[in-house]
Amino acid sequence: MGPAFAMLGVSVVLFGGTWPVTKAAVDAGATPLWFGLSRAGLAALMAAMLLAALGRLRLPSRQDWRVVAAIGLLQIGGFFALAHLALLVVPAGRTSVLANVVTYWLIPLSMLFLGERVSARRWVAAALGLAGVGALAGPWAVDWGSARELLGHGMLMLAALLWSVAIVVTRRWPPHRPMLEQLPWCFGLGTLVLGPLALLAEPRGGIPAAAWPHMLAVGGVAAPVGTWCVIEVGRRLPGAVSSVGFLLVPAVGVILAALWLGEPVGWDVLAGGALIVASVALAARG
């Protein structure tokens, strides 16, 4: 499991920094869906260029289209659309928390559809992790009377569900060819989903020059590399372990949002981060 945990570390760093960077891009004038579209489109281009240079760019096999469809439609198209739109009403730190909390979906889905058994220690780890998420999300700071804000939080929970379903599909029907070779088609399919949504919902939207560095960082590096690592982690580690491990993403996201965007840091951030780190260490031990 050594390589899988290394990939988990890479995905945590890249995806933890994605939402503060995306929030900064939105603050610089980028509209959410167009930014999500550029993120998917640029990632598809970068992955295709890399594979072409290696002589490995080819269409997925018939068996692998099931995985490509799940990742492209759910983990990239649906997840990007919901999470980027939620940024309009939810702070970047909380977005990184709720959008990446697959624990409350992935563990029951893995038990139901994959027949996985979860040890008592890993149940405790999941509980600790969710307690940490509760502290990071700060439900006491949510305006529960605002329908718009509640909709934003609901969109993030739905985004996490779509991501979880994609993970289950890749574990239930592993691709016959390396996952790296599927990435251009996954991101390409996600781009086809996001394109019409951006045109319909944000007809006057776009990405100004001030947000181009953010787009290049997220679309050119974080999206292709981070997504590949996330997919491989989801395939190689049990659902209880990978879902708890992914909780490190919001912890990093909250810290970076505080350091870069000036979002407040209090006892909840410190306590939540400590609980999540403890939960990951416990889950890794089995």
Digit-coded pLDDT (tens) for 195-207? 999 999 899 999 9
Rounded CA separation 127/3 (Å): 26
Of the listed ranges 92-96, 225-229, 274-278, the least confidently predicted one is: 92-96
Tokens found for residue 206:
């776009």
The pTM of the full predicted model, rounded to 2 decimals, is: 0.80
Confidence check: pLDDT of 93 > 70: no
215's CB contacts (< 8 A; 6+ apart) are: 25, 30, 35, 38, 39, 42, 207
Rounded CA separation 194/187 (Å): 10
Q: What are phi and psi of 105, to 5 degrees?
A: -110, -45
Q: Looking at residue 237, what is its pLDDT?
A: 78
* Most confident of the ranges 139-148, 219-228, 270-279: 219-228
Between the alpha carbon of residue 135 and those of residues 72, 87, 270, the distances in Å are 32, 20, 9
Q: What are phi and psi of 68, to 5 degrees?
A: -60, -45
Cα 231 to the center of its chain, rounded Å? 10
Tokens found for residue 102:
């697959």
Between residues 278 and 209, the one the model is more confident about: 209
| Conformation bin of residue 60: beta by default, left when phi > 0, alpha when psi is -120 to 50 | beta
Of the candidates 61, 39, 77, 69, which has an alpha carbon nearest to the alpha carbon of residue 178?
61
